[in-house]
Homo-oligomer: A and B are copies of this chain.
Amino acid sequence: MPSEFELIARYFNRPVAPGLLGVGDDCALFPVPAGHHVATSTDLLVEGRHFYPDVDPQALGHKSLAVNLSDLAAMGARPLGCVLGLAMPRADDAWLAPFSQGWHALGDAWQCPLVGGDTTGSKLGLTISVTVFGAVRPGQALRRDAARPGDDIWVSGELGAADVAYRLLDGQLPADPQRLAATRRALEWPQPRVGLGLALAGLAHAAIDISDGLLQDLGHILAASRAGAELRYADLPVAASLDGLDEAVRRRAVLGGGDVYELCFTAAASDRARVQQAALRADVRVTHVGSVRAEPGVVVRDAAGRAMADLPAGFDHFPTAAQP
């Protein structure tokens, strides 16, 4: 029977760069570039809530790190390292091998080494905790409270596919194997926009990653910035894999669908060309979808310019909480 320490060593102890102290001491140590602050974000992923028990472990390893790198991207921070906590019913080679492979492949792609962690048994099913660290010059960080009236609102990539895949897998939409095949990758293999965030640092004003849905996440920017917004529904970058869907389903996926991990950000209208150049450098499509205004609230206008009603509500992580 391999001990906990042997399992950790087998899949997670990897050489770290000189100057770093990695897995296997009380703490990991890492340097921070002069003039930079540390940016950090943490997430918990719970079996049955954030992923299905039978999800591909390699995809889960990728996504567990991706959703955290996405938070660094939304700050314009450069990854420095990460730590991983695993509470597992069993220490299982057949699961740990592909999980660690998916994790390390993404960490290597963005030079974000795993520097520490914790592994424990749990009778409660699988829970994954991830904390990432990055470096950002404090004056260049893409804060939520930095949107200004008149700013352009931009969205990277495409919207809607992850939500449709989730609702197909969850049985909320009728079975449709072809559409599931076309949308599933967006749900299980999201690509954190780290390169775009770095290209936008010091250029864009406010940014957020779309984890809870465009309207709700844009709402966080607007609340922190004490502003409102107008969006043009027809200009939103909708995934082609949503073509032919019922309009109500499409609208909910595009405006309210979570688990997207694209960036929503604002920038001065005078910087429109510089934003496009930054996106080109990062090799990510960005779309200008609306503008920040002083009046509070979000108005979504249809192709005819009319304010749309029946917008999807936000996502609450405790939908079943009892009344207080």
Which residues of A line the B interface, CB within 8 A?
1-4, 7, 19, 21, 24-32, 34, 37-44, 46-50, 71-72, 74-75, 77, 83-87, 90-91, 93, 115-125, 127, 129, 131, 133-134, 136, 138, 141-145, 207-209, 224, 316-324
Contact = CB atoms under 8 A, between A and B. Distances in A.
A21 B141 CA distance: 10
Contacts of A91: 318, 321
A318 B4 contact: yes
A207 B26 CA distance: 9
A173 to B, nearest CB: 23
A116 B21 CA distance: 24
B44 A87 contact: yes
Q: How many copies of the polypeptide does the oligomer hold?
A: 2
Nearest to A2: B324
A294 B98 CA distance: 40
Contacts of A32: 32, 37-38
A37 B26 contact: no
A116 B29 contact: no
Contacts of A3: 316, 318
A29 B136 contact: yes
A192 to B, nearest CB: 11
Given A26-B75, A43-B85, A122-B124, 16 more contacts: A1-B323, A7-B318, A19-B37, A25-B143, A25-B144, A26-B72, A26-B74, A26-B144, A30-B38, A30-B40, A32-B37, A38-B38, A46-B124, A49-B122, A91-B318, A124-B125
B124 A47 contact: yes
Ranked 5 nearest A-B pairs via Cβ: A129-B129, A27-B39, A124-B124, A26-B74, A44-B85
A78 to B, nearest CB: 12
Contacts of A50: 120
A29 B90 contact: no
A37 B46 contact: no
A90 B318 CA distance: 7
A44 B120 contact: yes
A150 to B, nearest CB: 22
A323 B116 CA distance: 26
- Which of A25, A87, A127 has the largest number of chain B CB atoms within 10 A? A25
A51 to B, nearest CB: 12
A83 B130 CA distance: 11
A129 B44 contact: yes
Contacts of A21: 141, 143
A87 B322 contact: no
Nearest to A85: B44
B25 A318 contact: no
A307 to B, nearest CB: 25
A49 B24 CA distance: 22
A47 B121 CA distance: 11
